[in-house]
Amino acid sequence: MADLLGAARGLWSELAGLPQEFPSTAGEVRVAVAPGSRLCPDGWVGVVTLGGTALVTVPDEETGELVRGARTLTESGLRERLPVTSVLGPAALSYVSGEAFLPVAPGAPQVERLPSAHAYLRELERAAGEADAAEASLDEITSPAFVIREHGRPLAAAGYAHWPHRTAHLCVLTAPGSRGRGLARTTASAATAHALAAGLLPQWRARPPASRRVAAALGYLELGTQLSLRLG
């Protein structure tokens, strides 16, 4: 867990674009002015909590003072202090090591390995709908796509996007009528195995409980959360 936590903190510190790292003391919060932070969309407040400590980026010092005065870093706590107009998250951040990984045993259904831009992925996104497709972000993967088909129709797919700090950000999508059959777990298992074999750190970011359960079944460990807020 210590190795996973250190790697995850390294990733999000790099995304924040800051020389500072996460605090070392449990419960501590570091608030930094970072207009170019990739913890959140431009101009937003980004909050990433890992291992009981938090790194917060703000677009300017005035916003930083407001955040420092917040009672808690939860959405409700920040709403009490800040003029929040939009929220993304919170999403759970989970990671897995090669030793903790629980792969799905080979067998039916068969997983095909296809190019990341294959037409089957766009077909699956259309079947899943705009909201679910946006959440899965299959259009951002840079790895091969791992796909399950039935009668020529794509039912589920997974892959990962290469992020900084040698991180593989998992992207998984299942067609609505095919959920509950273990297809997400099977395709995600193949993508995770591919990432680990390449020496990368698999990262699973999810809000829906069902997605978080799939990650846990593969051995992913929830280490923290990501929250973004836009202010009026």
For the chain, which domains are there? 2-90 (no CATH), 112-223 (3.40.630.30)
The CA distance from 81 to 174, in Å, is 39
Give the amino acid at 146.
F
- pLDDT at position 182, please? 92
According to DSSP, the β-strands at 84-95 and 112-114 are unpaired
142 or 128: which carries more pLDDT confidence? Answer: 142
- pLDDT at position 48, please? 95
Per-residue HEC secondary structure of the chain comes to CHHHHHHHHHHHHHHHCCCCCCCCCCCCEEEEECCCCCCCCCCCEEEEEECCEEEEEECCHHHHHHHHCCCCCCHHHHHHHCCEEEEEEEEEEEECCCCCCCCCCCCCCCCEEECCCCHHHHHHHHHHCHHHHHHHCHHHCCCCEEEEEECCEEEEEEEEEEECCCEEEEEEEECHHHCCCCHHHHHHHHHHHHHHHCCCEEEEEECCHHHHHHHHHCCCEEEEEEEEEEEC
- Which range has the worst mean pLDDT, 119-133, 184-198, 200-214, 218-232? 119-133
- pLDDT at position 69, please? 80
According to DSSP, the β-strands at 29-33 and 53-58 are parallel
Model confidence at 57: pLDDT above 90: yes
The CA distance from 220 to 102, in Å, is 9
Model confidence at 1: pLDDT above 80: no
- pLDDT at position 20, please? 64
Instruction: Place 27 in a pLDDT band, splitting at 50, 70 and 90.
Output: confident
Mean predicted confidence (pLDDT) in 77-93: 88
Model confidence at 71: pLDDT above 80: no
Mean predicted confidence (pLDDT) in 116-128: 90
Model confidence at 146: pLDDT above 70: yes
- Which range has the worst mean pLDDT, 194-198, 202-206, 207-211? 207-211
CB 67 within 8 A of CB 58: yes
Task: Confirm whether pTM is higher than 0.85.
Answer: yes
| Percent of all residues in the chain with a pLDDT value above 90, rounded to a whole number | 64
The per-residue pLDDT of the chain, averaged, comes to: 91
Which residues fall within 8 angstroms of residue 185, CB to CB, at 6 or more apart? Answer: 104, 214, 217, 218
- pLDDT at position 133, please? 87
